[in-house]
Amino acid sequence: MKNPYYAGPVSDHFDGERFFVPDAPGDKSRADFLRWRREGGRAVWPRQAPSPLQDVPPARSDGMRVTLVGHASFLIQLAEINILVDPVWSDRAGPLGLLGPRRVNQPGIAFADLPPIDVVLVTHNHYDHLDMATLRRLGRGHRPHFVTPLGNDTIIRRAARKAQITALDWGQSVEIAPGIVAYLRPCRHWSARGLRDRRMALWGAFVMTSPVGTIYHVGDTGFGDGAHFVDIAAQFGPPDLAILPIGAYEPRWFMQAQHMNPAEAVQGFLLCQARNAIGHHWGSFQLTNEAIEAPRAALDDALAVHDIDPGRFRALRPGEVWQA
């Protein structure tokens, strides 16, 4: 099948048609998916779980200010630059806004309360990270610079036809403002928008370096052997902040290759040597089996095992702010 998103040279993670993680397990099959559904064990989430917090961010911040919008969506205010990561304001994480899991809490920043958005980073094309309706609104109202892994630019172009879009391969970077650079780094995940385009667009994590500090943001990843976390500290030094996923991890036999659990997220935090961390990808859209509060409780347990001050690794709720 011809790749509809990207055409480029073969590399150590692209075979000419599909991207891949070297030495990663093979894709889960339809039979595996049906086994997961057949086995049950899915916790019942509440229909509504509103966050008690709502942020109205300042127009700019000269330091480092990070707000969880919900699930994997963040506003990062970094050295006077406003960055959205994986923005999703839709009620559902799925095609056309009609399918997929429904949001159980509202975005922690109202769309109308957003400051001027300069840059949008999109880590990969799963619907809970790349939301066409939200990107279309941002393209029309804010006209940001979009930065994303290879192939996702083709998808984003459909929502923001006249936008500036930069597509990066693993190891590449772009200066998004004077003195602020976004680097795309490997992670252990995959991509798809439909049934026939699996791994045809790249996925990745971002490192943002700036005069006020370094942020390492991971949208989705499996832990694997942990080498991609070790590499961050080796390449960039210890990040001031690591933003790490802690949810959508059960059952482990099905999810382990693509999503960390909280204990693995703590291991990643230690391996990348981050000074502080934020846990995300939990509590807004039910993607997997665990209960809505399970990631937060499991994170507390994992931090206690390693005798880590829980203030250094916080599982944020929508509208909650971390500030350096």
Residue 303 belongs to a domain with what CATH number? 3.60.15.10
CA pseudo-torsion sign 215, 19, 256, 43: positive
Look-up of token digits 């019942």: 44
Per-residue pLDDT, 128 = 98
Tell me which residue range forms the domain holding 270. Answer: 53-309
Over the stretch 72-81, which tens digit does the pLDDT of each residue have?
Answer: 999 999 999 9
Over the stretch 271-297, which tens digit does the pLDDT of each residue have?
Answer: 999 999 999 999 999 999 999 999 999
d(CA 155, CA 120): 14
For the beta sheet containing 313-315, the strands, ordered from the edge strand earlier in sequence to the opposite edge, are 173-177, 180-185, 205-210, 213-217, 241-245, 277-280, 313-315
Amino acid at 34: L
Q: Report if residue 97 sits inside a domain.
A: yes
Q: Report if residue 3 sits inside a domain.
A: no
Q: Report if residue 26 sits inside a domain.
A: no
Per-residue pLDDT, 1 = 73
Q: Report if residue 63 sits inside a domain.
A: yes
Q: Report if residue 113 sits inside a domain.
A: yes
Q: To the nearest 10°, the Cα dihedral for 195, 201, 203, 208?
A: -140
Q: Do strands 213-217 and 241-245 pair parallel, antiparallel, or not at all (unpaired)?
A: parallel
Over the stretch 142-193, which tens digit does the pLDDT of each residue have?
Answer: 999 999 999 999 999 999 999 999 999 999 999 999 999 999 999 999 999 9
| Burial of 213 from C-beta contacts in 10 A (0-12 / 13-18 / 19+) | middle
Residues 6+ apart with CB under 8 A from 121: 83, 84, 85, 86, 147, 148, 182, 206, 217
Q: Report if residue 314 sits inside a domain.
A: no
d(CA 144, CA 122): 12
Over the stretch 8-55, which tens digit does the pLDDT of each residue have?
Answer: 999 999 999 999 999 999 999 999 999 999 999 999 999 999 999 999
CA distances for 234 relative to 120, 157, 230, angstroms: 26, 34, 6
User: In the chain, how many domains are there?
Assistant: 1
Q: Report if residue 168 sits inside a domain.
A: yes
Q: Report if residue 318 sits inside a domain.
A: no
Three-state SS for 195?
coil
Greatest pairwise CA separation for the chain in angstroms: 53
Residue 42 neighbours by CB distance under 10 Å: 15
Three-state SS for 125?
coil
Over the stretch 202-252, which tens digit does the pLDDT of each residue have?
Answer: 999 999 999 999 999 999 999 999 999 999 999 999 999 999 999 999 999
Residue 6 neighbours by CB distance under 10 Å: 20
